[in-house]
Amino acid sequence: MKYTKLPSTDIKVSKICLGSMTWGNQNTEAEGHAQMDYALDRGVNFIDTAELYPVPATAETQGRTSRFIGTWLKKNNTRDKVVIASKIAGPGDYTAHIRTSGFGADSIKEALDLELTRLQTDYIDLYQLHWPERQTNTFGVRDFKPSPNDPWVDNFNEVLHTLKSFVDAGKIRAIGLSNEKAWGAMRCAEEIRKDNLVPISTTQNAYSMLNRVFEGDLAEVSLREDIGLLAYSPLAFGVLSGKYIEGTAADNARLKLFPRFARYSSEQSTEATKQYLQLAKELGISLTTLSLAFVNQRPFVTSNIIGATNLEQLKENIESIDTELSQETLDRIEAIHAVIPNPAP
């Protein structure tokens, strides 16, 4: 395994992070525990969850993923061996069953305390804002379109002061963003410098060979402001494994169970995936390995969040860290990207 540190901290994390959002829906508690056992044994010390999980989000399952992690931590006495990241859900219809009060001080306190209870721990290593409170283009929306009905009032300073209070109290070690845009990241940086607050360590955004919009402006923010990318969906909901094109997807594959998740299933995405699959075959590696190794090597990536529904997938995902793509291969990826850029924003 390869390791790095969460920016602005001394927290050592594996370059491969174990994602957990299928645990409690597609995966049982025992299967989640088995994945954590396997990953830890192979050097993965970084686990990501959220109060929202599992996905799709429902009132009945909300928080179940973190409870699974909590029972594993208690059973194995492994808290000091792993770095735990979690997130407070942003506002919206999708999370109205959790709360409707956004990132106010009371909301953050409630969310944090409940998550600590679920995880059976007294601190979270990285606590993230799952998505912005304001109306902006996230979750596959390609372009920003201003809304005259956005009720949000700029509260970055208040939110950052609240998070600092929990860092000072020892309940959080580092803070991060998720699904954020360049403007939001820079507003945070502005307030942090002004009031000497806790730096933003990371932003967790979608990033893959089908979705490289992070490079448009956030990559520069990442490198110049030292905000690392935690790349999620590096396999584009499994599309970049090639299993849907080749017809080998299992019945419990995400897009078979939840076909409404069509973010990576456009005609352009399918064509790009076919070309990346052909490249992988010519290189003698799987498309999964090609896709993950590409993300692993990006200079702004702190950790690559992989997810699996079985141990065979997990093994292949973790082993991608041992594949180093040549400059020639990277150039061939760029050639495909130049013709079909970001088909899945």
> Known catalytic residues?
53
- State the sign of the Cα–Cα–Cα–Cα dihedral 53, 54, 59, 62: negative
Residue 57 has, within 13 A of its CA and on its CB side, a CA count of 16
- State the sign of the Cα–Cα–Cα–Cα dihedral 173, 171, 98, 74: positive
Q: How many CB atoms lie within 10 A of CB 315?
A: 13
Cis peptide before 54 (omega within 30 of 0): yes
In order of 37, 48, 231, the CA distances from 45 in angstroms are: 10, 10, 16
Taking the C-alpha atoms of residue 169 and residue 162, their distance in angstroms, rounded to an integer, is 11
E runs forming strands in 144-206: 172-178, 200-206
How many helices (H) and strands (E) in the chain? 12, 10
126, 201 contact by CB (below 8 A) = yes
In order of 32, 115, 174, the CA distances from 254 in angstroms are: 16, 26, 31
